[in-house]
A = this chain, B = another copy of it.
């Protein structure tokens, strides 16, 4: 048993892990927040970080000095989503702290020291996704963000600031930004920190080197000169400057909405031991076979008559409800079902109904709610891409992988499609259908659509499938067009699929994670994809190294008064 496993065992003895089936829940709402307050005053939204140190997700640590764990970030992600859907009139966002002289001390060190390897990796992935969401809110929803740093912003605290558009640092002689992970803990600023320093703020590499190895960080004029913050502001002018900047950002925002937001009602979920029933999908767990099957159901009703009718439906509007439920289902598998090797996507419904919803969203593309729903789908699909489980879609009679739902087979490592119908089955033959939405609104982290990534070698094939938009494409044609991996007759189906699923469960989980992380993202890299590739992979490596996680390593010895003992060999 490696050291990471021992850490996992220790963690499982913690308060929420004594029963290892206790679920980490990603659903919350503002009235239940313990760590954040979301205030919206006209065009200006303010997110106040005020972490309740006694409300940690696990036992064994207190969330002092606005340090955070996954529970804190779940609230932050929820708040950002509510800003999008419940407050469409907000045009600028201020992030700040309620603690005196501290913005945030970053990820809680005791939590990291005690967490299993899988939890550390999943924690970093989710927090990265949340920060990417803040950037997407700025870029695509027009809500520019300001981080008002009233004191210490260390490690993950500064990384959170890096996700905003404008970093203000109070100039009080002691307030500083820092990335002390390396000198203090022998790990990396892995929540995008290194990448955003080099690629977003474009800090000169030698300055970045000095900054990332200086435990106390950088303050004052040098922080501005080195591009680490956008402004240092005297304490006496701090509040008025925040107000002025926020108003400027709001005035320049392209976000133009009339009317009020919708209410993101709590999801309706029924949990059984081996299943979760949502309203628009079901999750079925076969733990012995290490499979999770997500059955997505097409819409039960026709499209609303108008954008107003869509707004009136609110969270009940099928594409929105499905996106939220799919997101929750994926996160649940990621964090709570570590043994699942393969996620199997299936669907049931009428492909034409799905296409009708996509046409409805296309027709209302300028409406704020339609835009936010498409942006949510983009993020959920990226979450699927970044889920370190093998992904397969089974396209069978009666399924509805059309338009937006056709992204699921395209996001999968493989897809299997039945040719025609099953013997004695009266369901319509398996078909897949593309729509405009498959050619633009849902880019992957690499900036390309899934179809463009798929046909990188043969752009002509991309044009060829584009010509098939709106058609019901049968199995043989789909295979010929390159849309599915294998099209199979009924007679071969069961064996082929079974052999694949068994094989996948027999392989090394780690090697699959590494292989899939490479093969899913061909072509260009973006800052976002660099964070999940270069930075994350190096961080995961370090999270396995005794110099960090060993009994004598820096994470374990932090706070004990003992210096870490390092294996000095460079690798």
Residue from A188, A205, A453, A571 with most neighbouring chain B CB atoms (10 Å): A571
Q: Report Cα–Cα, A3/B542, bound state, in Å.
A: 15
Cβ of A198 and Cβ of B511 under 8 Å apart? Answer: no
Cβ of B509 and Cβ of A568 under 8 Å apart? Answer: yes
Residues of B within 8 A of A507 (CB): 182-183, 186, 213
The verdict on A341 contacting B570 (CB below 8 Å), with A182-B508, A206-B415, A544-B544 known, is: yes
A178 to B: closest C-beta gap in Å: 14
The verdict on A205 contacting B338 (CB below 8 Å), with A510-B571, A545-B510 known, is: no
Instruction: Tell which of A74-82, A141-149, A547-555 binds the partner.
Output: A547-555
Q: Report Cα–Cα, A547/B513, bound state, in Å.
A: 12
Cβ of B515 and Cβ of A212 under 8 Å apart? Answer: yes
Interface size on A, residues (CB 8 A): 96
Cβ of B513 and Cβ of A571 under 8 Å apart? Answer: yes
A445 to B: closest C-beta gap in Å: 12
Across the interface, name the chain B residue whose C-beta is closest to A118. B571
Q: Report Cα–Cα, A356/B489, bound state, in Å.
A: 72
Which residues of A approach B to under 8 Å, CB–CB? 1-3, 5, 117-118, 121-122, 181-183, 186-188, 194-195, 197-199, 201-210, 212-213, 227, 290, 338-341, 388-389, 412-415, 453-457, 482, 485, 503-505, 507-525, 530, 533-535, 537-542, 544-548, 550, 554, 564, 566-571
15 contacts between A and B (CB under 8 A): A182-B512, A186-B508, A188-B518, A206-B414, A388-B571, A509-B569, A509-B570, A511-B548, A513-B571, A514-B539, A518-B534, A534-B534, A537-B541, A538-B540, A541-B541
Supplied contacts A204-B482, A209-B413, 13 more A-B pairs, CB within 8 Å: A182-B508, A183-B507, A199-B522, A207-B485, A209-B414, A210-B414, A213-B515, A227-B457, A509-B569, A524-B525, A533-B537, A537-B541, A541-B541
